[in-house]
Chain A
Amino acid sequence: MYVAAKGGEKAIRNAHRLLAKRRRGNRNLPDIGLAQIAEQLALAVDRVMAEGSLYDAELAALAVKQARGDLIEAIFLIRAFRTTLPRFGASTPVDTGAMLVRRRVSATFKDLPGGQLLGPTFDYTHRLLGAGLGEGGEAEMMPAEPEAMPRVTDLLGADGLIEPAPAEEGEEPFDITRAPVAFPVDRATRLQMLARGDEGYLLALGYSTQRGFGRTHPFVGEIRFGDVEVSFFAEELGFEVSPGTVQLTECQMVTQFTGSASTPPQFTRGYGLVFGQCERKAMSMALVERALRWAELGEEKGAPAQDEEFVLAHSDNVQATGFVEHLKLPHYVDFQAELDLVRRMRAEREAAASLKEAAE
């Protein structure tokens, strides 16, 4: 017998009202503004843009507010919103070499053209809670002319000491938002999936490679964060337009060498590129990206971070939270079936036991 159950509308309505009340909190305190979130919780906003895979700081701030600071819920809201908009097209690939750099460090070369620029970083702070929060007035200024800041990989590449990046073959890169992913996937697809992957998950996988599970002996060739110009070829105009700039973090991980009969030993590389200032994510992405290249570079497989399907299929926190959290929704009928089954198995076991007893 199947009985359809209905109900809960009133409870749901009241639960959402209660949510709105709790979201607002104490009404004696001022309501937090979106501009305040975008300016003062900028890294939370950046993370929502990166993992929501949609660059729009104002929308991300709104999502953070609506989600009461639950960033995965905020990312979910952003992903849902993007499905409501038409797509005008794709940008020409951004040139991170021409970035207006706000931070740029290299762990491989002390002296490099353009220098080491610490920018607004948590590095070297003493992690004393509350220290420095009262400040936030003026920053030191040192007038500087625009200066070329070649990527460290370009410098190494000039001498052939590092593998070149795969050349453009004129093909449209695969787009996971337009077609279902079937493993194995190419490097461009991996990067798209990693760029929107969960920061904590990629951090743990990257960390695992450092602890010996798929070791690649990484060095941070370079991390840079700053403003990059977007260019878009407008079909109807027949020329490129520049609709603005976006902030990106790029990480070039320089890893252990390889060589073959035809190529002399050279460093290999892993790449990370993320919306906003998300340095931990960019580094983790580069480590995992490199680990996934084991087959191409003739390495042995054996570590979790090298398992392409495992790594990529579980990297999206919206998919993950959807499947995990659906478990709390009503499963009354499923459970009834299992309950019946357990009762029947127990009855059969009892019947068999009493039959055996009778035989003895």
Chain B
Amino acid sequence: MAVLARAGKGELDAILDQLAPIPAVQDLRAPEIGLVMLRGRIGGDGAAFNLGEATVSRAAIRLEGGAPGFSYRLGRSPASARVAAVIDALWQDEARRAAVEAALVPLRARLAEGAATVRAETAATKVDFFTLVRGED
């Protein structure tokens, strides 16, 4: 879930707390840190090239008697990746999906507000061109 990948550690922990009780969690793969090679396109829209790598944390878990959950997030925070995977697994459970969505509301709002702030700050630096009246006209 893209939105969970953009959550901070504190936000993830708060969401998980809100969703208690959580069934026992079994690691399908121990949380780990690795690299993903980021690719660009030649000219922005052409053939791919390797731009450089980024650190990524990932986790895969299964809830006791429930669904598996996965998480990939940029940066080095395997513990947070595991929390995000647990929340992802809870979301897979249709009986709990509404509760998970409700717990995600503040996070979604914070992300939307962050993007809106960037847009508004940037828009204030937009150049308004005007044409000077030519003297001889």
Chain A residues with CB under 8 Å of chain B are 49-50, 53-56, 58-59, 82, 85-94, 96-97, 100-103, 110-111, 115-119, 139-146, 151, 153-154, 164-169, 171, 173-177, 187-189, 191-192, 195-196, 226-227, 229-230, 232, 234, 236-237, 241-246, 248, 250, 252, 269, 271, 273, 275
Select A242's contact among B2, B49, B55, beta carbons within 8 Å: B2
Whether the pair B37, A188 counts as a contact (CB closer than 8 A) is: no
CB–CB B45/A117 < 8 A = no
CA distance A86 to B32 in the complex (A): 9
Given A58-B76, A243-B56, A115:B127 Cβ within 8 A: yes
A294 to B1, CA, bound (A): 45
In the complex, how many angstroms separate the beta carbon of B3 from the nearest chain A beta carbon?
9
Kindly identify which residue among B37, B44, B117 contacts A141, using a CB–CB cutoff of 8 Å: B117
Total A-B pairs, Cβ < 8 A: 228
Write 19 A-B pairs (CB below 8 A) sorted by A numbering.
Answer: A58-B75, A86-B35, A89-B37, A92-B39, A115-B126, A115-B127, A117-B122, A117-B127, A119-B122, A141-B117, A142-B126, A144-B120, A144-B123, A165-B47, A230-B54, A236-B60, A246-B38, A246-B74, A273-B51
Identify the closest chain A residue to B55 (Cβ). Answer: A56
**Does A192 contact B43, Cβ atoms closer than 8 Å?**
no
Q: Quick check: is B98 within 8 A (CB to CB) of the other chain? A: no
A270 closest partner in B (C-beta):
B43
Q: Pick from A89, A92, A111, A139: contact of B121, CB below 8 A.
A: A139
User: What chain A residues lie within 8 Å of B134 (beta carbons)?
Assistant: none
Q: Do A56 and B54 touch (CB < 8 A)?
A: yes
Known contacts: A54-B53, A85-B35, A237-B70. The answer to whether A97 contacts B116 by CB under 8 A is no
Interface check B25, CB cutoff 8 A: no
A192–B51 CB distance below 8 A: yes
Residue of A nearest to B51 (CB): A195
B52 sits at the interface (CB 8 A): yes
Given A115-B127, A153-B43, decide whether A244 and B75 contact each other with a Cβ distance below 8 A. yes
Give every chain B residue within 8 A of A192 (Cβ-Cβ). Answer: 49-52
Tell me whether A275 and B51 are in contact (CB under 8 A): yes
Q: A140-B121, A236-B60, A244-B74 are in contact. Are A154 and B45 (CB under 8 A)?
A: yes
